[in-house]
């Protein structure tokens, strides 16, 4: 359960970074 939460959080942060990079570019 903890590992699942950690992976989900990591994916959310990664998606947020990608969105920021797209909006900047």
Question: What span, in angstroms and rounded, lies between the C-alpha atoms of 15 and 8?
Answer: 11
Strand, helix or coil for residue 25: coil
Q: What is the pLDDT of residue 1?
A: 57
- Placement of tokens 């903890």 in the chain: 2
What pLDDT, in 10s, does the model give residues 13-24? Answer: 999 999 999 999
Q: What is the pLDDT of residue 3?
A: 76
Q: Two tokens at 16?
A: 């947020």
- Whether 5 shows a pLDDT value over 80: the answer reads yes
Q: What is the pTM of this model?
A: 0.61
Q: Two tokens at 15?
A: 């998606």
Q: Two tokens at 3?
A: 């590992």
């Amino acid at each position: 359960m903890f590992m699942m939460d950690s992976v989900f959080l990591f994916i959310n942060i990664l998606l947020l970074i990608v969105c920021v990079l797209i909006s900047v570019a």
